[in-house]
């Protein structure tokens, strides 16, 4: 087998693995959304102080977990794009265009974003989808807090401050991390070697 054929075969295998990884993390993302939604609704229906106190924490965790899965999807997309570029150089430009289509259809993988929300293209469906879930989650957390704070008496305010602080810290970190793109940029730089 010629050296070029072996390279093509190895790149195709890496591309296949990255597409499988991308699919697996998309699946985990959507299963995670459903799982956390069921937990939150169950806590709201149980309607005790403990179950209501869990809702804001579950909401924050659902958002952070979703960003974790998206981070892996982006990793797989960047790796797949590099493999497609290498294969296109060998096989002819335009042979593999999956990465280009994903950038057009979903969101540009290189764009700074907060989770799945891309501030430069807020009207793209992926940004809208992210915003939809953020508003839904925040509404559920606000409803739980509205029911919970009167039950807690004086310590309700402290709980609210702690949850708000935890939420702001998570949002600040995710905004900082995703807008910098440092992790993905370092992978992209490594793959270009």
Domain ranges in the chain are: 3-192
Question: Closest by alpha carbon to 181, among 87, 101, 107?
Answer: 107
% of the chain exceeding 70 in pLDDT? 99
| Percentage above 90 pLDDT, the chain | 75
Q: What is the pLDDT of residue 1?
A: 58
Query: pLDDT tens, 71-116?
Result: 999 999 999 999 999 999 988 878 899 999 999 999 999 888 988 9
Q: List for the chain the helix, strand, coil content (%; round to 5).
A: 85, 0, 15
**What is the average pLDDT value for the chain, to the nearest integer?**
92
pLDDT surpasses 80 at 185: no
- Alpha carbon 2 to its chain's center: 40
C-alpha closest to that of 165 among 57, 67, 50, 65:
57
**Measured CA distances, 90 to 5, 18, 59, 84, 95 (Å):** 10, 19, 47, 10, 10
Instruction: Indicate the pTM of the whole model.
Output: 0.88
pLDDT digits (tens, 9 = 90+) for 106-152: 999 988 898 899 999 899 999 999 999 999 999 999 999 999 999 99
Question: At 60, is the pLDDT very low, low, confident or very high (cuts 50, 70, 90)?
Answer: very high
Give pLDDT, residue 15: 93
Average pLDDT over residues 168-176: 94
């Amino acid at each position: 087998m010629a050296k070029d054929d072996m390279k093509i075969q190895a790149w195709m295998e890496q591309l296949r693995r990255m597409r499988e990884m991308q699919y697996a993390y998309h699946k985990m993302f959507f299963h995670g959304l459903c799982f956390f939604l069921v937990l939150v609704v169950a806590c709201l229906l149980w309607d005790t102080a403990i179950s209501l106190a869990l809702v804001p924490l579950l909401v924050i965790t659902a958002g952070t977990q979703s960003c974790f899965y998206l981070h892996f999807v982006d990793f797989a997309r960047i790796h797949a794009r590099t493999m497609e570029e290498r294969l296109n150089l060998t096989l002819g430009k335009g042979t593999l265009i999956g990465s280009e289509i994903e950038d057009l259809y979903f969101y540009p993988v290189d764009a700074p974003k907060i989770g799945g929300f891309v501030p430069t293209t807020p009207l793209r469906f992926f940004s809208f989808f992210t915003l939809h879930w953020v508003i839904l989650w925040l509404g559920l957390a606000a409803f739980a807090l509205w029911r919970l704070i009167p039950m807690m008496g004086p310590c309700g305010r402290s709980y609210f401050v702690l949850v708000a602080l935890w939420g702001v810290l998570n949002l600040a970190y995710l905004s900082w991390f995703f807008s910098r793109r440092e992790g993905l940029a370092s992978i992209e730089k490594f793959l270009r070697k």
